[in-house]
Amino acid sequence: MADGLRLSYDRGLMTMTSDFESLERIRRDTPGVESVLHFNNAGSALPPEIVVETVTGHIRREATIGGYEAADEASDRLEAVYASLARLLGAEADQIAVVENATRAWDMAVYGYPFERGDRVLTVRAEYVSNVIALLQLERRLGIEVVLIDDDKNGQIDLAHLERELEIGAAMVAMTHAPTNGGLINPAETVGQLCAQYGAFYVLDACQSVGQVPVDVEGIGCDVLSGTGRKYLRGPRGTGFLFAGPRALERIEPPFLDLHAADWVDDRRYEIRADARRFENWEANYAGKLGLGAAVDYALDVGIEAGSTRLRGLGESLRSQLSALDGVSVHDKGVARGGIVTFAVDTVDSEDVKAELSADAMNVSTSPASHARFDLPHRGLPTLVRASVHYYNTESEVDRFVEAVAQIRAGKTPST
Ligand SMILES: Cc1ncc(COP(=O)(O)O)c(C=O)c1O
């Protein structure tokens, strides 16, 4: 497995070099890099081989000895997944639930929150589309009020506006740390301090930030945090997790209960379990859960800080090189920025850019306005191309990618 990435800098981030040995090893651990230039890590990253082996190995055991028996056999390793996630997030193992994705994790907490009619929920322009849809449903269903906090001039959450609204009163602040559609990283710690000062319950969507930047629930001061396996953690698809802090465990009843979340203690009575696993289902994807644990262990082994520094450096390099191209505009906001780079080519539709890159084995995705209505339409932006880099990408991949975009702008297909 990989050593910590050792990075050295010659004139700042733009001329970042990396320890060749460990990068080489990390790329050897990542067979996908042989087939594609993968800049769709914000969609689903290429997993390291250990994740693939862990998932397929468990499925093979299920096929060989039986599904329940394979889970029994792996019980210690399954338990260790909670400890790994807790270590990653600076939490306790009993504050972690492993669920099928980040959306369900977030939903279990927010749909279970004991709102009262008239409660105000403050959210942000960067909030993830599914969270906004859920909040709007709760607004209609429960009579809560969803209040949008504006961006400041740098494009991150306007902290002064947040404080004014907190002074008026708010039951909850629901914020996305790093949005799906750009490089912004919102100042989660400062928001946590304000929530603590005004007593608001703090729900952080860290789906794009866990694995991309260090995330520590103590330091941030969130009550709830949701995340996913397949993005910057490089885990399997169909895995996600929830951190539920003391106030969350005290206040939130899951919207659904089953025999795993609660005990049927008497004919007419059940008792909800005390720990965060109340937010899980009994039936689960055990291979995926083990694969998630392997991904977290791998990320911790690489080093979150070192990986983050490297991927953010690659992101800045990509941004500046794309910005220098004729007819290409980069649209990432924020003071602190990560590895997600969004851009448009003036003469080519973003979906066509994606298709042309894909024909040349370069993976990106697109961010449509309908996935970021509080943001992209307000900036007058169309669907953007989203290129998201990870620490296992290379400087030469960035150069090749920029050249391909230049070719597309010039009306040539990249491979000609
Ligand atoms: C910021 C953010 N939050 C939540 C999600 C949803 O994650 P999942 O698909 O694992 O439910 C995404 C997915 O792209 C996201 O970017």
Give domain limits for the chain: 7-46+303-409, 53-301
Q: What pLDDT is recorded for position 111? A: 98
Nearest CA to ligand 1 atom 8: 102
Residues 151-192: tens digit of each pLDDT: 999 999 999 999 999 999 999 999 999 999 999 999 999 999
Q: Which class is 53-301 in CATH?
A: alpha beta
Average pLDDT over residues 126-145: 98
C-alpha separations of 167 from 95, 120, 163, 170, 221 in Å? 30, 12, 6, 8, 19
C-alpha closest to that of 228 among 237, 215, 219: 237
Is the model more confident about 19 or about 376? 376
pLDDT at residue 413 greater than cutoff 90: no
C-alpha closest to that of 306 among 18, 39, 25: 18
Q: Which CATH number fits domain 7-46+303-409: 2.30.30.40, 2.30.40.10, 3.40.50.1860, 3.90.1150.10?
A: 3.90.1150.10
Q: How confident is the model at residue 414 (pLDDT cuts 50, 70, 90)?
A: low
Ligand 1 atom with least separation from CA of 177: 1
pLDDT at residue 120 greater than cutoff 80: yes
Average pLDDT over residues 312-330: 98
Residues with CB under 6 Å of ligand 1 are 101-103, 128, 130, 176, 179-180, 205, 207-208, 228, 240
Least confident of 12-21, 294-303, 387-396: 12-21
Question: pTM for the whole thing?
Answer: 0.95
Residues 341-379: tens digit of each pLDDT: 999 999 999 999 999 999 999 999 999 999 999 999 999
pLDDT > 90: percent of the chain: 94
pLDDT at residue 20 greater than cutoff 70: no
Number of residues that make up the chain: 416
Mutation probe of ligand 1 site: the residue of 106, 127, 228 with most atoms within 8 A of C-beta: 228
Q: How far is the CA of 243 from the centre of ligand 1 (A)?
A: 15
The one-character DSSP state at 315 is H
Q: How far is the CA of 271 from the centre of ligand 1 (A)?
A: 31
* Cα 78 to Cα 183: distance, rounded to the nearest angstrom: 34
Q: What pLDDT is recorded for position 16? A: 42
φ, ψ of residue 385 in degrees (nearest 5): -85, 135
Ligand 1 atom with least separation from CA of 103: 11
List b or e across 189-224, with b for residues whose CB sees 16 or more CB atoms inside 10 angstroms: ebbbebbeebebbbbbbbbbbbbbbbbebeebbbbb
Nearest CA to ligand 1 atom 7: 102
Count of other CB atoms within 10 angstroms of residue 40: 23
Contacts of 342 (CB under 8 A, 6+ apart): 181, 182, 183, 330, 331, 332, 367, 384, 385, 386, 387
pLDDT > 70: percent of the chain: 94
CA 259 to chain centre: 29
